[in-house]
Structure 1
């Protein structure tokens, strides 16, 4: 047996009065509103009536604080997973609007599809999918919660949906303290691709099935709090 579902929970609002792109910098914890958001996410998971068997958390302060009410609700000990951390970013520690006006920073904007200012989308995808696969296999039953960050969660969504990675950060569907849920489905092994000039051979019915990740839900438990929140520090 393995986990039934894996829930990717984003952290709540961060106390960031100077509007810094905080990235992986230490010392950026939740605001008072952020703690309320984190509690809302925990309440949402609790009301689903599903057993939560494990809790994995990015090592950054804002995610550890966001995981606390989930840990309390389900009597779980958070496990730090470095693979679900915020990506690296050249603009970390700066005010983004001012940084973009500085010509010194312009070379880091030349190739958005990678993106040129930070960790490659393909790198984020690889570590997130590995963490999710391990989460599914880490328990005998129940669900697993991963508390992470906006871009890693959004890249996972794009990967599973088969969409391209380059995107407008302002249009990510990954609100503060949102919950994105995934399941693994088993499908028959596909037929091998024929070489040029060869006929298509049928799939081998005795071949082991293929496991595929699918997104089955998205919720914004803190939706009523978002209108007054600040969300300017995400990568």
Structure 2
């Protein structure tokens, strides 16, 4: 059994419909420092650190990595949800629509056949869960809003794409239990718009 601390990246300098890979803004940097302090208060020894390859996650991981004196391992399976388009405006509209429903609505099947994108989305969703379930030791992961929701949805058997709104820099805690995840603690929830 492994305990997993899944941290949402700090506030980004731009929203997901205006920049494909923004870094952190000043508040985001403050949130990354606070997340590092939170983890170091919980754990007396350094744990492995995994991070999404996206800049906002790597920058959020940096204070903890510096304190523990080692580099995070990049884990592509906990990256941002893949989009069916590279156009940022279209991506924003698509994402707002997907976030309002269930995974079954996000991946509609026509006669049982999925499009190539539907398959990519289903594969990504499963890969988030697989990345967590494969962990054999306590680990800290810096990830994204929807990826954290995938893990929570798996743990609670909740079919919604969004079952809670983890705030920037919040820590959600899971434990692996065989081929399932147990949700131990939900992170602090956001009361502002998601970006």
Q: What TM-score, normalized by structure 1, do the two folds share?
A: 0.65
Q: Name the counterpart of 1:155.
A: 150
Map residues 183-198 of structure 1 onto 2, 5 A cutoff.
183-185=175-177
Map residues 1-235 of structure 1 onto 2, 5 A cutoff.
4-16=2-14, 19-21=15-17, 25-26=20-21, 28-90=22-84, 93-95=87-89, 113-115=105-107, 122-134=122-134, 136-137=135-136, 139=137, 143-167=138-162, 172-185=164-177, 210-220=178-188, 231-233=193-195
* Shift in Å, 1:68: 0.2
- Describe the shift of the 1:21–1:48 C-alpha distance in structure 2 as closer, same or farther (beyond 3 A): same
CA contact (8 A) 1:124 1:155 kept: no
Q: Name the counterpart of 1:195.
A: none
- Describe the shift of the 1:161–1:91 C-alpha distance in structure 2 as closer, same or farther (beyond 3 A): same
- CA radius of gyration, larger in: 1
Q: What TM-score, normalized by structure 2, do the two folds share?
A: 0.76
- Describe the shift of the 1:46–1:93 C-alpha distance in structure 2 as closer, same or farther (beyond 3 A): farther
CA contact (8 A) 2:82 2:121 kept: no
Distance 1:215 1:76 in 2: 27
The structure with more helix, counted as a fraction of residues: 2
Distance 2:61 2:180 in 1: 27
CA contact (8 A) 2:7 2:172 kept: yes
Give the count of matched residue pairs.
180
Structure 2: 5+ residue runs without aligned partners?
95-100, 109-116
Distance 1:98 1:149 in 2: 15
Distance 1:76 1:146 in 2: 14
CA deviation map 1:121-153 (0-9, x unaligned):
64333101111123x22x4xxx20111100011
Distance 1:150 1:20 in 2: 11
C-alpha RMSD over aligned residues: 3.2
CA contact (8 A) 2:84 2:91 kept: no
* Shift in Å, 1:47: 1.0
